[in-house]
Amino acid sequence: MNAAVNTPATTPILEISGLSKRFGGLEALGDINLRVMRGEICSIIGPNGAGKTTLFNLTSCLLQPTTGSVTFDGEDITTLSAHNLAKRGLARTFQNLAVFKHETVIDNILTGMHSRLSSGIFGAALFWGATRNAEIKARETAEEIVEFLEIEAIRDLPVGTLSYGLQKRVELGRALAMQPKLLLLDEMVSGMNQEETEDIARFILDIREERNVTVMMIEHEMGIVMDISDHVCVLNFGRKIADGTPELVSHDPAVIAAYLGQDVGAKQ
């Protein structure tokens, strides 16, 4: 698979500065500095326990940092609550499935539109005017996402009846329904077979190209990382040890040592 030809912008959509997180006496993340440019696909990689999910939890405001700051789209979001991020254009999927298994595919995707809908008490009760128009628009958007992700045939099925790979695709659709500027993907292809992995890689490229969404992803599958990423950041023991293009990072001695389990000093 060849990476897309889209050229990322030269301005960051996300800036992480001096970010650290301690849990009691344990430092899960230490002094992380990272810039994600608009329009790029940035992968966060590293061995298990490197601090990748903690970085995502801090970026998406599920955790508050011990020190440092997170700036998204020019705004300091460090102390915001997680539910305030959706309207600002930041969406996320999780490593473990978080779908409504008894609801249909289309209804799961529609839940992602919640942050974009607003109506008064009377409009909601009587389903008229702006409320009705917003609902119609939301359903049109959800149907477009169903088509984009090629899941038309299963749109009316309960999500719990679907394969793991399709459930992950539905979760991706729900995140897209939030109409994000930045999409955080936490191990999207974990547990998928080769065909499902290639499908997700294609969708990620299309999300960037066709929907103008910047993508930041945690990923263990090195094939997809090296094929579609513009930028790779490597963590080990809570520290950043490399940051650059896939080609540069893949030849970095500190990265090679980390994946081979050797003890080398972290570098910034």
**pLDDT tens per residue across span 108-143:** 999 888 665 554 444 444 455 566 677 788 889 999
How large is the average pLDDT for residues 27-56? Answer: 96
3-state secondary structure 162-227: CCHHHHHHHHHHHHHHCCCCEEEEECCCCCCCHHHHHHHHHHHHHHHHHHCCEEEEECCCHHHHHH
Does residue 180 have a pLDDT over 80? yes
Distance CA 52, CA 46 (A): 7
Q: What's the CA gap between 18 and 173, in Å, rounded?
A: 33
- Mean pLDDT over 177-196 rounds to 93
Q: Determine the CATH number of domain 1-89+181-268.
A: 3.40.50.300
Closest CA to 34 of 26, 47, 21, 44: 44
Q: What is the DSSP string of 115-148?
A: GG----HHHHHHT-HHHHHHHHHHHHHHHHHHHH
* CATH architecture group of domain 97-179: 3-Layer(aba) Sandwich (3.40)
Domain with CATH 3.40.50.300 in the chain: 1-89+181-268, 97-179
Q: pLDDT tens, 43-89?
A: 999 999 999 999 999 999 999 999 999 999 999 999 999 888 988 99
In the chain, the percentage of residues whose pLDDT exceeds 70 is 86
Burial environment of residue 251 by CB neighbours within 10 A (0 to 12, 13 to 18, 19 or more): exposed
pLDDT tens per residue across span 93-107: 988 877 889 999 999
pLDDT of residue 264: 42
Q: What would the pLDDT profile of 195-213 be if each residue is shown by its tens digit? A: 999 999 999 999 999 999 9
Of the candidates 103, 98, 37, the one whose C-alpha atom is nearest the C-alpha of residue 62 is 98
Q: Helix, strand or coil for residue 242?
A: strand
More confident residue, 64 or 260: 64
Banded model confidence at residue 6, pLDDT cuts 50, 70, 90:
low
Do residues 178 and 153 lie in contact, with contact meaning Cβ atoms separated by under 8 Å? no
